[in-house]
Amino acid sequence: MTAAKSDYRWPHKHLLGLEELSPEDIRFLLSTAYGFEQVSTRSVKKVPALRGKVVVNLFFEDSTRTRASFSLAASRLSADIFDFAATGSSVSKGESLRDTVRTIEAMGVDVIVCRHHLSGAAHQVAGSVNCSVINAGDGQHEHPTQGLLDIYTICRRLGLEGYDLSGVTVAIVGDVAHSRVARSNIHGLIKLGAHVVLVGPPTLLPQGFTELGCELSNDLDSVLPRVDVVNMLRVQFERIQSQAFPSVREYTHMFGLTTHRLTLAKPEVVVMHPGPLNRGIEIDSAVADGPNSAILSQVTNGLAIRMATLFLVTGAQGKGEG
């Protein structure tokens, strides 16, 4: 699980989505993260890789875990980091996204970590500035570091040293339509060779995803026995603008990962969830906290993934094509 071929060179100035990455890019990033994972186990949890660089957390949408994870990752790389809470700033006075990010960049910033509630925002930021941009989630589009940490967790759990997911079947269950986590997972998993089954009510499964090579199913019970990983998406009540299923009771009855339903799966199935959990809705507490759960590993692995991401995008600055 060490560095890939020596002639490989990370070509990207930004990380906006997994759709833009090649399988080699993803594998290189994952193996870089593996190297950084060791840093967190040392007594002095710091390396000087980004000393003198400035990272800004630019969050237009509330986030706790992603922002904290990026902050910790930056500080372990010895970068300077500051948070720019875009709510309650000049944005609320009517400033455009472009003006906001150009103003921030003018303060001497190397990396902007951007979270926004509208799809495409990270791309627009990247088009407005010269520094690197990392998408920390844009609307219903992508959340690339979450997708990467999910794939990394799967590889670590299943012991896949070459980050090759051929023969691995992953179910992504729930509100796929509104999920940026699902989109990043789908792109990354398929590029690494996995078979992806999207499971949920038909009102929350975009038919178009079959074109990406995904299988669609409305029947979780029939899918569970043949999957190696089941990734339970959060029901995003705040994003579902019109009612997409009749009731929480019916949703849980059909798509909740209950203790009983888990018995249908392989004994070693890996259970994942991007958080925060709606316990008792999409996942039972006993399952979320049980031996199959990789949910806390996902959080731990997120740190290494974000360190690798910061390290690679800054190293490529001015050289790559973006």
Partner 1 sequence: MSSLTIIRGRVIDPANKIDRVTDLVIEGGRVTSLGDKSRPRTDRVIDASGCIICPGLIDPHVHFREPGQEEKETIATGAAAAVAGGFTSVCCMPNTEPAIDDDGRVDFIYHQAARAKQANVFPVGAVTKARAGRELAEIGLMAASGAVAFSDDGVAVASAGTMAKALTYIAMTGKVLMQHCEDPELGGGVMNAGSLASRLGLAGWPRVAEEVIIQRDILLNLHQNIGARYHVQHVSSGGSVELVRRARQDLFGQAHVTAEVSPHHLLLTEDDCASYDTHFKVNPPLRSRRDIEELLAGVRDGTITVLATDHAPHTQEEKELEFAAAPFGMIGLECALPLYIKALIESETIDWPTMISMMTVNPARLCSLTGKGTLTPGAHADVTIIDPKEKWTIDANEFKSKSRNCPFHGWKATGRAITTIVSGDVKLLRDPDRLKDQTDAHDRSKPTQHQPSQIVAQSLHDSKI
**150 phi, psi to nearest 5 deg:** -65, -45
Q: 160 and 193 in contact (C-beta within 8 Å)?
A: no
Report how many residues bind partner 1 under the rule CB under 8 A: 15
**Contact between 254 and partner 1 (CB under 8 A)?**
yes
CA end-to-end span of the chain, whole Å? Answer: 26
Quote the least distance from Cβ 287 to partner 1, whole Å: 21
Binding window for partner 1 (CB under 8 A); candidates: 3-11, 71-79, 249-257, 278-286: 249-257
**Contact between 82 and partner 1 (CB under 8 A)?**
no
**Contact between 297 and partner 1 (CB under 8 A)?**
no
> Which member of 127, 167, 213, 246 binds partner 1 (CB under 8 A)?
246
Binding window for partner 1 (CB under 8 A); candidates: 47-55, 239-247, 261-269, 284-292: 239-247
Binding window for partner 1 (CB under 8 A); candidates: 59-67, 103-111, 167-175, 248-256: 248-256
**Contact between 43 and partner 1 (CB under 8 A)?**
no
**Contact between 218 and partner 1 (CB under 8 A)?**
yes
Residues acting as catalytic residues: 65-66, 93, 115, 143
> Which member of 127, 162, 202, 213 binds partner 1 (CB under 8 A)?
202
Quote the least distance from Cβ 317 to partner 1, whole Å: 45
**Contact between 247 and partner 1 (CB under 8 A)?**
yes
Q: Which is nearer to partner 1, 41 or 243 (CB)?
A: 243
Listing DSSP states for 236-296 in one string gives: -TTT--S--SS-HHHHHHHH-B-HHHHTTS-TTPEEE--S---BTTTB-HHHHTSTTB-HH
> Which member of 43, 64, 92, 243 binds partner 1 (CB under 8 A)?
243
Quote the least distance from Cβ 257 to partner 1, whole Å: 17
Tokens describing residue 246: 């009749």
Distances (CA, A) of 179 to 143, 174, 197, 227, 305: 9, 9, 15, 21, 20
**Helices 23-37 and 180-191: angle between axes, nearest 10 degrees:** 100
Nearby residues of 236 by Cβ (< 8 Å), 6 or more positions away = 175, 178, 179
What is the chain's alpha carbon radius of gyration, rounded to the nearest angstrom? 19
Where do we find the tokens 């074109």?
211
Residue ranges that bind partner 1, judged by CB under 8 A = 201-203, 207, 218, 242-247, 249-250, 253-254
